Amino acid sequence: MTYTPPPAVTTRPLLQGSFGFSASTHWLATGAAQSVLERGGNAFDAAVAGGFVLHVVEPHLNGPGGDLVGLFTEAGTGATRVLMGQGPAPAGATIAHFRAEGLGLVPGAGGLAAAVPGAVDAWLLLLRDHGTWELADVLAPAIAYARDGHPLLRSAAETIGRVRELFQHHWPTSAALWLSRGHPPEPGEIVRNAAYADVMDHLASAAGREGGATPRADRIDAARRAWRELLGHAVDLVSHPHRHSTGTDHAGVLRQDDIDAFRAGYERPVSATFRGATVVKAGSWTQGPALLQALKILEPFPDHALDPGTPDGAHHIVEALKLALADRDAYFGDGADVTALLEDSYVAQRRDLIGDRASRQWRPGSPAGLTPFRPPLTRTAARPLPGAGEPTVDASGATRGDTCHIDVVDRWGNIVSVTPSGGWLQSSPAVPELGFCLGTRLQMCWLDESSPSALRPGNRPRTTLTPTLVLSGDGSIMAMGTPGGDQQEQWQLPMLLRMLVGGYQAQEAIDAPTLHTSALVDSFWPREWEPAGVTIEDRLGAEVIHGLRARGHDVTVVDGWTLGRLSAVGHASRRSEETPRLWAAANPRGQAGYAAGR
């Protein structure tokens, strides 16, 4: 009997047209990107413009002191590339130094956890090599929102409120920026960041000073040099002790030499096929290959057993994710070869571990006889994890940040998907001259030399940032992603299954209720693990909830519009149409994500 999934329900239409589309986690970033397309810019110009706007309008979810991972395809080339915007650990970030500071984990906040900032250099590199616009024109929307103001998101206001005491008592520069009237701004209040507007003006001026006769690439490289010089202000600030998430004071180890040595770059992606589609991800310095392994584990199951809306489907998805994420925590890291994890024979071994009951053990495999790294399994009680992509900030000031996302496709066939993050306003003290703070990505490194993701000077921390490209055999392509830390792959997986197996359109798949597991080693401080936890939107229904509990899962039910902030754009095959059919979709959860285009 052929399986027929239930009819899909959408909150918004799938946007379709032939000119170009943008989708992101904030309507102002989407609008800025789309305005660039409307004025003749390409997808890369538009994505960079939207990316700088995200720094301004979602400062609790990303910042210039953070990092990014991107995937893109340039029209006419047929090749996909990774945009690498993850800075490495500074030369002084050694395990010995952190141990001497009395630490067992890298802190989740403060300058000691700062990797070299990578986001801005990556955006500028993408613009230099693949865009067409001048830097001043690309930065104009972000400068306007920073200088003239924008309405503050409720989630940003709530984040500032949760760290109010930390700012007032320990981070006075952050208090000056975000508590200028002595209290947190209200949701919807118009806020400004003149210091960051000045930074962007300085970058635009640095590019302009080279003169119109200078090649455009050289002008943008001048801005990249100016950016590295400006970061010296951040080095000066974090060189002094500041309160960390551990409740103690530590000085940062980032130095100007670390900043001067870093350059964003491009890499080859990794990929796997699933039901005739090629799914493309960044490498083992991200969590991207875990999604590929989960898809390969699930591929042979019948369609009804891959539907997140059935007890069987939800169970198989959760168990496959637990296996793939255990391998992530055991084997992923900068420079790690994860080829063996995607071999068909090994994937089959992993698939055979999925039974009728929920596993309550952390189960990495041993591909090719490898010995897995075994992190400490610090147990935690079941709890709902952040759902709408917002960070959690404890009253103590311990912070967890989250992420933004943007996708753009243009009429020429360029497509780009970027997940920027880090440098959250609650990460570390704001730098007065810059209007932002450094990131804390080093918290994803272990203070254990045997780990593939150990803290090592010059190595990139294994990031959670993980956009996706999906290439179909008919020539169509989709770019997608979401905020969510450890949940990023987990929220993308049900969307992909609904589209590639269930036949959903992108907006239908985004709107559909979803779930994720917390049976993983948390990538963020304090690195906890929950043996059989599942968080599920109540819209998945009583049958799925009860079915999972009957199989032994520890289920936490959350509001039906809580999990994920997915967005996507794409273009259909050009083989049968002279004019490409483009489309875009964005998530209603969180109330900020929007798509636009025509």
Give me the residue label for tokens 């491009």: 266
Q: What is the b/e burial string over 51-66, where b = at least 16 CB atoms within 10 angstroms of the residue's CB?
A: bbbbbbbbbbbbbbbb
In whole angstroms, how large is the CA radius of gyration of the chain? 22
What pLDDT is stored for residue 323 in this prediction?
Answer: 98
List pLDDT tens digits, range 257-308: 999 999 999 999 999 999 999 999 999 999 999 999 999 999 999 999 999 9
114 Cβ contact partners less than 8 Å away, ≥ 6 residues apart: 65, 90, 238, 252, 254, 427, 428, 438, 439, 440, 441, 442
* Residue from 128, 125, 132 nearest 265 by CA: 125
Burial class (CB in 10 A: 0-12, 13-18, 19+), 579: exposed
Tell me which amino acid residue 483 is.
P
Nearest-angstrom CA–CA distance, 424 and 59: 6
Percent residues over pLDDT 70 in the chain: 92
Residue 45 in tokens = 């110009």
Greater model confidence, 3 or 19: 19
Nearest-angstrom CA–CA distance, 483 and 419: 7
421 Cβ contact partners less than 8 Å away, ≥ 6 residues apart: 61, 62, 66, 67, 68, 401, 402, 403, 404, 439, 463, 464, 465, 483
Q: What is the arithmetic mean of pLDDT over 2-12?
A: 73
Percent residues over pLDDT 90 in the chain: 81
Q: What is the arithmetic mean of pLDDT over 63-72?
A: 97
What pLDDT is stored for residue 574 in this prediction?
Answer: 58
Q: What is the arithmetic mean of pLDDT over 440-464?
A: 97
Helices and strands (DSSP H and E) totals, the chain: 18, 25
What pLDDT is stored for residue 137 in this prediction?
Answer: 96
List pLDDT tens digits, range 75-131: 988 899 999 999 999 999 999 999 999 999 999 888 999 999 999 999 999 999 999
List pLDDT tens digits, range 330-365: 999 999 999 999 999 999 999 999 999 999 999 999
Contact 480, 107 (CB under 8 A): no
Strands, E, within 162-282: which ranges? 190-191, 242-243, 249-250, 265-267, 270-274, 277-281
What pLDDT is stored for residue 397 in this prediction?
Answer: 40
Give me the residue label for tokens 């400490």: 376
DSSP run (H or E) holding 536? strand 533-537
What pLDDT is stored for residue 579 in this prediction?
Answer: 59
The yes-or-no verdict on residue 3 having pLDDT over 80 is: no
List pLDDT tens digits, range 174-193: 999 999 889 999 999 999 99
What pLDDT is stored for residue 238 in this prediction?
Answer: 85
Average pLDDT, the chain: 92
Tell me which amino acid residue 20 is.
G
DSSP run (H or E) holding 548? helix 542-550
Please report which confidence band the pLDDT of residue 402 belongs to, taking 50, 70 and 90 as the band edges: confident
* Residue from 308, 351, 323 nearest 548 by CA: 308
For residue 75, CA distances in Å to 231, 271, 409, 416, 556 come to 34, 19, 10, 11, 44
Q: What is the arithmetic mean of pLDDT over 359-380?
A: 92
What pLDDT is stored for residue 385 in this prediction?
Answer: 43
> Which of 236-245, 423-432, 538-547 has the weakest average pLDDT?
236-245
List pLDDT tens digits, range 464-505: 999 999 999 888 999 999 999 999 999 999 999 999 999 999
Q: What is the b/e burial string over 396-410, where b = at least 16 CB atoms within 10 angstroms of the residue's CB?
A: ebbbbbbbbbbbbbb
Please report which confidence band the pLDDT of residue 387 belongs to, taking 50, 70 and 90 as the band edges: very low
DSSP for 348-416, written as a single string? HHHHTT--SS---S-----GGGPPPP----EE----PPP-SSPPEE-TTS-EE--B--EEEEETTS-EE
For residue 395, CA distances in Å to 61, 113, 167, 175 come to 18, 20, 12, 16
Nearest-angstrom CA–CA distance, 297 and 270: 17
List pLDDT tens digits, range 511-536: 999 999 999 999 998 888 889 999 99
What pLDDT is stored for residue 53 in this prediction?
Answer: 98
The yes-or-no verdict on residue 1 having pLDDT over 50 is: no
DSSP run (H or E) holding 168? helix 164-169
**Whole-model pTM?**
0.95
Q: What is the arithmetic mean of pLDDT over 570-576?
A: 73
Nearest-angstrom CA–CA distance, 67 and 432: 20
